[in-house]
Amino acid sequence: MYNKRNLIVNHIKEHMTVYIFMIILFLTGIIFGAVLVNSMNFIQKQDLFFYLERFFGQVAEGSYIDKGDVIKSSFLYHVKYLLLLLILGLSVIGLPIVWVLLFLKGLVVGFSVGFLVNQIGTKGFLLAAFSIAPQNIVVIPVYIIAGSLAMIFSLTLLGKLFTRKVSQPIIQPLAQYLIVFSLLIVVSFIASALEAYVASGAMESLIMSFSSEG
């Protein structure tokens, strides 16, 4: 157990710059998403809010969210996203796409929270806190770790292509890479469960309370 912990600590120390780069990239995406909301004109915001308002109306009228569908669609989405990052990490040329995907993930989070707060103020903040935050507390670290590992493995392959030095075979790092990604997929299921059974329930309760206030 101690050896495994030591390996993880050494890995993080060795690749700290990669993890910091990915965190900054993700945070930049969040900021850009929030700025994007403010750059939208009134008509664009109203068009988007129309669909949001209609969804709120359906929930308020008793059209409850199917939690089984939520967990299935959410987990499938995470699996596809993580498998794409895994494959891109295996191909050196896919590295810039890894950066784009992580940036876009941050942008979506930033835009979602920013739009809710921009349109419905404190209520939007509460909705974001209880319906967006729970699953993202788990899934954001998963994506940052996945993107970082994809970048590290891609750079490792790049180093092996351009160096003539005798180095360890790629099989062991590849096996470790695949095992960690498998674990990340398992953890992403926890995020999907939180989205289905915590975030969805909280969102329904909040929308119902907002409706009764209105």
Q: Are 105 and 29 in contact (CB under 8 A)?
A: yes
> Which has the minimum average pLDDT: 84-93, 155-164, 196-205?
155-164
pLDDT-above-70 percentage for the chain: 91
What is the band of 97 on the pLDDT scale with cuts at 50, 70, 90?
A: very high
**Token pair recorded at residue 155:** 């750079």
What is the reported pLDDT for 168? 62
Residue 160: Cβ-neighbour burial (10 angstroms; 0-12, 13-18, 19+): middle
What is the band of 89 on the pLDDT scale with cuts at 50, 70, 90?
A: very high
pTM of this prediction exceeds 0.85: yes
Residue of 98, 105, 78 lying closest to 153 (CA atoms): 98
